[in-house]
Amino acid sequence: MLVADLGTPAGRQLVASTLTARTIDLLVNNAGFGVYATVAETDPEVLDAMVQLNVLAVVQLTRAALPGMLQRRAGTVINVASGLAFDPTPTRATYSGTKAFVVNFTRAVHEEVRDQGVRLQALIPGLIRTEFHDHSGTDVDTVPASWLMNPADLAGASLTGLELGEVVCVPALLDTEQVATALRRQSDLTQTLVTNGAPADRYLPSAR
């Protein structure tokens, strides 16, 4: 077993060099945490630690595992995101931002390697029954028990999602078309703005 603090450059480097040296079939970037408070009231070091773990570790460990996977034309990377990736809620600003990063990063890298035998999945948990809530400051006892998913069910759904070819896997959603539509709308927005080199009329001095 390799023990490392992925919140530090040294810890990430240790794991990254191990990933590079070994044959890796499946990398699950699961480590992550959230502290729920306004940005102005959160210790800057906590915000920094969230970005280091939730973002930098995902990027650096994915980058370390990919060359070997591409060489063997086989391998899977599952990056654990969150439903908050789609919901920039007050008191969740940094956590939500890091998880939105995970989704976009994973989707883009998947497109980069999809024809080379390597798969990526962004896993989107809702509320999962873990110790996460002790750290985030959420009182899950006030939440109906039926809202909480068991970690084993989430993990099983993620693996089934891989078989189904789901790049963005949302086990709690009944309708996968809801995911596809939401993601398509985001892409449509970018396509629309990138093809117009002039500000819209409402920004013209004459409109003010």
Ligand X SMILES: NC(=O)c1ccc[n+]([C@@H]2O[C@H](COP(=O)([O-])OP(=O)(O)OC[C@H]3O[C@@H](n4cnc5c(N)ncnc54)[C@H](OP(=O)(O)O)[C@@H]3O)[C@@H](O)[C@H]2O)c1
- Cα separation, 192 vs 189, whole angstroms: 5
- The DSSP secondary structure of 75-115, one letter per residue, reads EEEEEE--GGGG---TT-HHHHHHHHHHHHHHHHHHHHHGG
Residue 5 interacts with ligand X (CB under 6 A): yes or no:
yes
Torsion of Cα atoms, 173 then 175 then 179 then 184, to 10°: -170
Residue 97 interacts with ligand X (CB under 6 A): yes or no:
no
Q: Which of 131, 139, 141, 175 binds ligand X (CB under 6 A)?
A: 131
Decide: helix, strand or coil at residue 119: strand
Of 24 and 78, the one with the shorter C-beta distance to ligand X is 78
Is residue 34 packed enough to be buried (19+ CB in 10 Å), middle (13-18) or exposed (0-12)?
buried
- Distance in Å, CB of 83 to ligand X, minimum: 6
Catalytic residue among 36, 95, 101, 105: 95
Residue 31 interacts with ligand X (CB under 6 A): yes or no:
yes
Q: Is 95 a catalytic residue?
A: yes
Q: Which of 33, 37, 113, 159 binds ligand X (CB under 6 A)?
A: 33
Q: Which of 17, 30, 89, 181 binds ligand X (CB under 6 A)?
A: 30
Residue 15 interacts with ligand X (CB under 6 A): yes or no:
no
- The angle formed by the CA atoms of residues 158, 15 and 22, to the nearest 5 degrees, is 80
* Chain contacts with ligand X (rule: CB under 6 A): 5-7, 30-34, 53, 80, 82, 125, 127-128, 130-132, 135
